[in-house]
Amino acid sequence: MSTVSKHLHYAVREPTKPIFITDPVRDIVQKSGFTQGWVLISAGKEHVSISVLDKDSPQIHPVKSDNNGADKALHTEKLSQADCRLAYRTVLPIRANHVALPPNGEIVLVAPPQIESVDVLVKVLNKD
C-alpha cells in the first residue's frame, strides 16, 4: 500500500469557530495521483475536532459517535470544551482521485478556547 503524507499548520484565531480545511485536503489527494483509497486527517491534539460540516446548515456532523454511541450534531455557536472532545481524526474515502464528501460537505476543524494552534496530518492511502 502506497502513502503520501503532508503536515498542515493552523493558527486558531477564533476558538470554537470552524476552520475550513477541505481545499488543502483535496489538493493533497489530487497531487497524490491515487484514484481509490482513503485519506486520514488527524489533529495533533485530541481536544480538536475533525468533522464534516454541511455548508447549508449551522451544524457540524461528527464522523464519530459520542461515548454512549449516539451521534451528535453540534451548533457551532455553542461549542464548549467538552463538545470538542469528538473525533480528533477521521478517515474519508477517495474515489476517482477526489475526496468523497456528502453534497455541500466541508471538512472542518474546531478547537476549544485554550488551543492556539493545531498541526494536522493528512495521509493519503492508495487502495490499489
Contact by Cβ (8 Å): 62, 74 = yes
d(CA 122, CA 40): 6
Contact by Cβ (8 Å): 85, 74 = no
d(CA 109, CA 52): 9
pTM of the predicted structure, to 2 decimals: 0.76
> What CATH number is attached to the domain comprising 69?
2.60.120.460
* Number of domains within the chain: 1
Q: What is the pLDDT along the chain (128 residues), one digit of tens a residue?
A: 799 999 999 998 887 788 999 999 999 999 999 999 999 999 988 788 888 877 776 555 444 333 333 333 433 333 333 333 457 888 899 999 999 988 888 898 988 888 899 999 999 999 87
Range of the domain at 22: 3-126
